[in-house]
Chain A
Amino acid sequence: MRDQALTKREEARLIKAYQRILQEGGFPNPDRAGCPDNKTLRAIAFRKLGSEQVKDWSEHLGTCTPCFREYTEFRKQAEWRREAAYLSMAAAVILLVLAVGWWKLRASHPVVITAHNRVVADMRNRLTLRGGQGREPSEGPLVLGRGIDDVSFYLPEGSRAGTYEVAVFREDLGEPLVSRTSQATLEKGMTVLNATLDLSRIPSGRYLLGIRLPGIEWSYYPMVIE
């Protein structure tokens, strides 16, 4: 035996040895003399009892095999519950991180809608915004669906046939988000411009649709992409 203090390893060995003695019937108590009730043992194991009460029972627990066995079972339950609580907390945190990550990823990469729509846009009575002036709208904004839209634009009366540019702008204008050049033809007294617009990468919202003859000022129409 050494005179120095016990190392952690030595202490653990002694504790294990004593636990073995207790578990293997080293301190029998056939009549359960002086034993605490089941509730008290459970409360000690689940660390629900005050220090003064624990001190009252610690000596008994260390010298009574049946009590120590019951206590060990309760302790296992308590440990299991604690581990389960930690695991569920960790799982919740992981789920939250995954959800936030997925949401961020979704926000940074707009969803591409690949639907193919056929739309007729009658522009003959619609509000035209040109240089801050315009007429009163007779209808609401033009509504196009997200995806690839084949649009037949019925241009305002008096529009001549020829090459037109069609573009989608943000409401504050700037560079067009989508732009196409297409040929307008006269059909049954109407000027019809067929153009395929790829609106699959544009998030839903309010925009402006611009139409012009090359080299001439844009005519803007309010538009909603759904």
Chain B
Amino acid sequence: MSGDFGANPPVWIRQSEGSGTTVDTDLLDAARRNWARVLSYARRYGQDSSIAADILEAALLAISRARRTSRMLGNPIRNLDSYLYVAFVRRLNRHVARQPKIQFVGSLQDLDAFSGIHTRGSTSTVEDELLVRELLQFMTGRPRDMFFLRTSGYSWKEVARFLGTTANSAQVLFNKGIGTARSRIMKLKASTRWPSEGGEANA
């Protein structure tokens, strides 16, 4: 079974999981609503609509499975649109990170076109942006929520009030989250062997 979202370009997504369980209608509705949004995000990172659709489908099915479990645990998803979008972004970022960093160009003219490209801001600015993207990708739910609140200008005191704890405890929790994300990144980097690093490129 599949659903055509009727968007431009259209997207087809399976409406049942591998086990045969049907995906909830509201989840499919959320995917339909967010299709243009996820596609815009994917295009910013040079990904086409087919990759965006595959990743959205994978995120949708994963959420459908997770939702059944969380429903049983009495822990419903607060905002389905945001949840689906963030799941998509994380999956897409992981997909982009796995792609080789070398970009091949068809002609010398194409190569010349790249010489005019400048990165805006200083190197540290770009590094900060890369770092925060990577950290968020590997952060778990609570620290990520805390980071979003901090980005929205909430003080640690206010963030702590939302969590029902003290400002100090909230900061400790957040730093633990950052630490976990860091160790996950380091683990991943240690296990990943890029073609250029492993010598396969010469093989």
Chain A residues within 8 Å of B, Cβ to Cβ: 1, 3, 5-6, 11, 13-22, 25-31, 33-34, 44, 51, 54-64, 71, 75
Which residues in window 20-56 of B have CB below 8 A to A?
Answer: 30, 33-37, 40-41, 44
User: Given the complex, which residues of B lie within 8 Å of A61, measured CB to CB?
Assistant: 148, 151-152
User: Given the complex, which residues of A lie within 8 Å of B149, measured CB to CB?
Assistant: 54, 58
Shortest CB distance B196–A (Å): 22
CB-based contact B82/A55 at 8 Å:
no
Bound CA–CA A217/B144 (angstroms): 97
CB-based contact B178/A5 at 8 Å:
yes
Shortest CB distance A77–B (Å): 13
The majority secondary structure among interface residues of chain B is helix
CB-based contact B81/A33 at 8 Å:
yes
Instruction: Tell which of B37, B129, B185 touches A29, judged by Cβ atoms closer than 8 Å.
Output: B37
Instruction: Tell which of A26, A27, A33 touches B33, judged by Cβ atoms closer than 8 Å.
Output: A33
The size of the chain B interface, using a CB distance under 8 A, is 46
Shortest CB distance B158–A (Å): 8
CB-based contact A6/B175 at 8 Å:
yes
Shortest CB distance B144–A (Å): 8
Instruction: Tell which of B34, B148, B153, B174 touches A33, judged by Cβ atoms closer than 8 Å.
Output: B34
User: Can you report 15 residue pairs joining A to B where beta carbons are below 8 Å apart?
Assistant: A1-B185, A5-B179, A6-B174, A20-B125, A21-B133, A29-B37, A31-B33, A33-B37, A34-B34, A34-B79, A34-B85, A54-B162, A56-B79, A57-B79, A59-B78
The majority secondary structure among interface residues of chain A is helix
Which residues in window 151-175 of B have CB below 8 A to A?
Answer: 151-153, 161-162, 171-172, 174-175
User: Given the complex, which residues of B lie within 8 Å of A62, measured CB to CB?
Assistant: 144, 147-148, 151-152
Known: A20-B129, A31-B33; 12 extra A-B contacts, CB below 8 A, are A6-B175, A14-B131, A15-B151, A18-B151, A27-B41, A27-B89, A51-B161, A59-B145, A62-B151, A62-B152, A63-B85, A63-B86
CB-based contact A34/B41 at 8 Å:
no
CB-based contact A19/B125 at 8 Å:
no
How many A-B pairs fall under 8 Å by CB? 120
Bound CA–CA A18/B179 (angstroms): 18
User: Given the complex, which residues of A lie within 8 Å of B128, measured CB to CB?
Assistant: 13-14, 16-17
CB-based contact B89/A63 at 8 Å:
yes
Instruction: Tell which of A5, A19, A30, A63 touches B36, judged by Cβ atoms closer than 8 Å.
Output: A30
Bound CA–CA A53/B141 (angstroms): 17
Residue B132 lies at the interface, judged by CB distance under 8 Å to chain A? yes
User: Given the complex, which residues of B lie within 8 Å of A25, measured CB to CB?
Assistant: 44
Bound CA–CA A59/B161 (angstroms): 17
CB-based contact B81/A34 at 8 Å:
yes
User: Given the complex, which residues of B lie within 8 Å of A55, measured CB to CB?
Assistant: 78, 145, 162
Residue B14 lies at the interface, judged by CB distance under 8 Å to chain A? no
Instruction: Tell which of A1, A20, A28 touches B182, judged by Cβ atoms closer than 8 Å.
Output: A1
Shortest CB distance A48–B (Å): 13
Known A34-B85, A75-B153; judge A60-B175 contact (CB<8 A). Answer: no
User: Given the complex, which residues of B lie within 8 Å of A1, measured CB to CB?
Assistant: 131, 182, 185-186
Shortest CB distance A52–B (Å): 9
Residue B150 lies at the interface, judged by CB distance under 8 Å to chain A? yes
User: Given the complex, which residues of A lie within 8 Å of B83, measured CB to CB?
Assistant: 59
Q: With a 10 A CB-CB cut-off, give which of B78, B86, B161 has the most chain A CB atoms.
A: B78
User: Given the complex, which residues of A lie within 8 Å of B78, measured CB to CB?
Assistant: 55-56, 59
